[in-house]
Structure 1
Amino acid sequence: MLHLGLLDFSLILLVVHLTGAVAAVHAALTVRTSQGAVAWVVALVMMPYLTLLPYLFLGRRRFADYVTARRYVIEQMYRQVGRNDWPSPESVSAELAVEAPQSCIRTLSRLGRSPTTGHNRVRLLINGEATFTTILAAITAARHSVIVQFFIVHDDMLGQALQQALLERAAEGLHVYFLYDSIGCHALPKSYLESLEQGGVDVQPFAVTRRFVNRFQVNFRNHRKLVVIDGKTAYVGGHNVGCEYLGLKPPLAPWRDTHIEVTGPAAAILQLSFAEDWYAATGKLPLLHQPRKADGGTMLCQVVPSGPADRLETGSLLFVEAINAAQRRIWLTSPYFVPDEAVSAALRLALLRGVEVKILIPSRKDHRMVFLASRLYAYEAARAGVQMYTYRPGFLHQKVVLVDDEIAIIGSANLDNRSFRLNFELMVATVDRGFAAEVEAMLVTDFALADPVDASRYARLTLWRRVAMSLARLFAPIL
């Protein structure tokens, strides 16, 4: 019996290792970046017992059938949009579309596959109370349609306030759309969604496919946070829906985040970003409104959606282009700092050009592995000359880029591989000296509440801490 038991155990080990080797070959052939492929191959060959199950959930990042299907769906959507006489991004009237003088914005326009629009107004919304007070008031004032899309929605005080506002609008006969990510909202009770549906809200989960095999896939998350009111005003940024985003849940409280209110033709362009996701999930178009100028709007805006089906690596290239465009300064804030080689190289080149490079990250962790990797990258960046800071009062979740004195970029994308290549993200670039000055003032306050990262401190860390950070970095391409 003992002999048979050992034989059975040996066979199990052999099967696990062989399966790990097969999965490693699959990773080498399918993972999008060389760094990610190396991380998976090493992990699957050396530690198949620990990594086979995560690979089932996290692997197959960009499989060809999904990419092809997503692109086909979007092509179909725009054919239907054209039949309904709604302009595609490429055909927005010359009165609203502009040729930006900044080469960075022209590049982002091509990268985001949509025109730069003028005649916009943009307002900065700092932290949760300002953001959700404004959003809920805008929903209440809606007259035709309400679009709501979030990665995370909780059934708490804030989530219930949103639910009630949507039900009231639906009861008034408005078109109300609620799109949620099926992974991010895994804890959202079915009763919450049923209540919306019964009240006339059009509810839909975002999932890349309905096939059973991919129910085990947690990649390709829809990380966008978007609310659009009547096609003329939109809200984009870092907030999800939950009391923690109001700073009401320790130990991460107070929560530091930023949203923006966009009024004008850029809001209509943002409708199309939602329409792509909605059409992919339902095969139907939401109600779309024609682009309109904002009263007194003078700002240029560029919408940059990104996702795993993009022909280029839009998420990473957005940050690379913004950093390369900086002549005087580049300030960035992100909850996670796990840059790829392209972004790291751009930061080093900016330093060599004499650009002031300042990056703000959290001092508190919400995901241990990413936090450890972020800290190691922060120490290395500080050694290279980047002014790295950790935000002291609470958890920093905002995603903000400030380039020189004119360009500010705000949205949902983090400085990590998941946002670069896996998640569906949404960023808005603005060109306006007055608004950039407001963003600068906000960031000056944030940096004043932060501690500089001392690169020499790394050598004083305990051995286990340095080992943990180095191991976390090995998995950086797949975090």
Structure 2
Amino acid sequence: MTLLVILLLAYIFQIGSVLLLEFRHPDKALAWMFILFLVPVIGFMFYFFLAQDYRKRKKLRYSGAGQLQDVKTKLSEQSLIVKSVHELHNTDFQRYERLYGLLSHFPESPITGNNETRVLSEGETAFAAMLAEMEKAKHHIHIEFYIFRADGIGTVFQEVMIRKAREGVKVRLLCDGLGSHQLPSSFVHLLQKEGVEVYFFLPPFLATLDRRVNYRNHRKILVVDGTVGFLGGLNVGDDYLGLYEKMGYWRDTHLQLNGDSAYYLQKAFIENWQSASGQKIYAPELFPAHRCKQSEQVQILASGPNQQGNDIQKMYFGAIAAAKQRVWITSPYFIPDQGIFTALRTAALSGVEVLVIIPDRPDSRFVKLASLSYVEELMTAGVKFYQYKKGFIHAKVLIIDNLLASVGTANMDMRSFYYNFEITALMFDREAIIKLTKDFEEDVSESIPIHLPEFSRRSRLQKGAEIVARLLAPLL
């Protein structure tokens, strides 16, 4: 009897600990309680190593606040900052003052007004553009990817990095420790031998010791000479060129940025580099005057578990809630938290056209099950879902009315909201929105719609698997 009481008290302690620490995130709390119900002791051990609040570990916080404040001050002086809704070229925004109020409330991420954007809708085109800009580098190349492979395209990047390093260009490569864990040491050593600096963000061993293995750097950033930048869905690997038979054609969206917005990509890189390497690399020459003559307005939003709240999630929610005509979403991993889920239902019930493109052929069966668990509820509210059939769609795109469009690294899922370092670009000018709209319409033409009557007749086994995947999705 005494043993049973001890076990019961231990179980209550575990449940209480999760509720106390995760009360701000009900989805996470419910998922961990489900794990504790299945495997009480083992589940709590997993919680101990995987779920510790990132910000409580001093070792992993960004240091050098003064240096980063210097960066912020320089950028505010050097960039054309939009300071009023009336300064936006898109006059429709004057009817969305609450949304503008939200977007202007991200002090680290202002809307800038001296930019040129180029939407890159194919891996081949995007890689060619990145490599071409790297070849032009005179001072530095900063590269940050979640996944970097030592395959065909990875070797091409390696060759350019080495060649530029030999020319005296400072080349820095930052990869995620888990996402790029298969990158051979020989590949890395060759880069280092030739003068390329390489660091990994939270390598698995260090992340396990520091109880942060579940936090990942999912950003994809390239900055050349501080004035040209790239971000989007592409990692560096042959699969992103559609060369993996299993996945087939790879559909993605990447973005080239010239001008002020490149400074804010640079700022994000410097912060992650400092966290991974311990080096404080800020120098004025990393933010030279650019020669961009265009006047597109762009906002770079960076988010991560080091923040109090998630700026990208707030933007998604605010933009969906503000929509009057359309909410168009492309996401390979669609696992919304309760706030985004409610915003989508409410928008559809209000008569807004809500369209969501997800893959038909997933790269993760578990993620597909979790995504499908939301479909029936949202479709009953009027949301329309399409499954992309041409290959695998990996783009992360949000289009709101004719107001704004987002391209970046963040999926519409709880991993991006809770655990990952992400970055996205908001574009407000009509030309960019029109281009992304045409791409979305073409993707819809390559997709098949999900029909509610047929979908609702799926088997009990399928529904049961979806429920389990949905319960566990906040953790994975």
The TM-score normalised by the length of structure 2 is 0.90
Distance 1:396 1:57, change over 3 A: farther
C-alpha separation in 2, matches of 1:406 and 1:212: 40
Question: Are 1:377 and 2:362 an aligned pair?
Answer: no
Question: Are 1:30 and 2:21 an aligned pair?
Answer: yes
String of CA shifts for 1:393-425, please: whole Å, max 9, x gaps: 111110001111241110000011110111000
What aligned pairs does 1:301-450 form with structure 2 within 5 A after superposition? 301-450=298-447
Question: Are 1:92 and 2:82 an aligned pair?
Answer: no
C-alpha separation in 2, matches of 1:333 and 1:137: 28
| Aligned residue number for residue 63 of structure 2 | 73
Work out which of the residue numbers 145, 169, 177 in structure 1 matches 2:172.
177
Aligned residues: CA RMSD: 2.6
Work out which of the residue numbers 190, 207, 214 in structure 2 matches 1:195.
190
| Aligned residue number for residue 451 of structure 2 | 454
Distance 1:245 1:167, change over 3 A: same
| Aligned residue number for residue 231 of structure 2 | 236
Distance 1:359 1:16, change over 3 A: farther
C-alpha separation in 2, matches of 1:211 and 1:398: 31
SS at match of 1:439: helix
One-letter code aligned to 2:405: A
SS at match of 1:260: strand
| Aligned residue number for residue 3 of structure 1 | none
Shift of 1:97: 4.8
One-letter code aligned to 1:24: I
Shift of 1:329: 1.0
Work out which of the residue numbers 270, 282, 297 in structure 2 matches 1:300.
297
CA contact (8 A) 2:36 2:43 kept: yes
Distance 1:255 1:189, change over 3 A: same
| Aligned residue number for residue 5 of structure 1 | none
CA contact (8 A) 1:392 1:450 kept: yes
SS at match of 1:88: helix
Unmatched 5+ stretches in structure 1: 1-10
C-alpha separation in 2, matches of 1:154 and 1:14: 52
| Aligned residue number for residue 258 of structure 1 | 253
User: Which stretch shifts more, 449-458 or 357-366?
Assistant: 449-458
Distance 1:95 1:298, change over 3 A: closer
What aligned pairs does 1:271-310 form with structure 2 within 5 A after superposition? 271-286=266-281, 288-290=285-287, 292-310=289-307
Distance 1:51 1:253, change over 3 A: farther
C-alpha separation in 2, matches of 1:341 and 1:152: 29
C-alpha separation in 2, matches of 1:133 and 1:331: 28
Work out which of the residue numbers 36, 40, 45 in structure 2 matches 1:48.
40
Shift of 1:70: 5.1
CA contact (8 A) 2:178 2:203 kept: no
Identity %: 34
Shift of 1:105: 4.6
C-alpha separation in 1, matches of 2:367 and 2:49: 17
| Aligned residue number for residue 151 of structure 1 | 146
Distance 1:34 1:122, change over 3 A: same
C-alpha separation in 1, matches of 2:139 and 2:178: 30
C-alpha separation in 2, matches of 1:105 and 1:429: 12
Distance 1:164 1:38, change over 3 A: same
Shift of 1:299: 0.4
User: Which stretch shifts more, 181-190 or 279-288?
Assistant: 279-288
Shift of 1:213: 5.0
Shift of 1:217: 3.6
Shift of 1:138: 0.9
String of CA shifts for 1:262-321, please: whole Å, max 9, x gaps: 000110111001111111122323355336455331100001000001122223212101
| Aligned residue number for residue 4 of structure 1 | none
C-alpha separation in 2, matches of 1:122 and 1:72: 30
SS at match of 1:146: strand
Distance 1:353 1:292, change over 3 A: farther
C-alpha separation in 2, matches of 1:113 and 1:279: 17
SS at match of 1:460: coil
SS at match of 2:406: strand
Distance 1:279 1:99, change over 3 A: farther
Question: Are 1:218 and 2:203 an aligned pair?
Answer: no
Unmatched 5+ stretches in structure 2: none
Distance 1:65 1:127, change over 3 A: same
Report how many aligned residue pairs link the two structures: 462
Shift of 1:470: 1.2
One-letter code aligned to 1:117: T
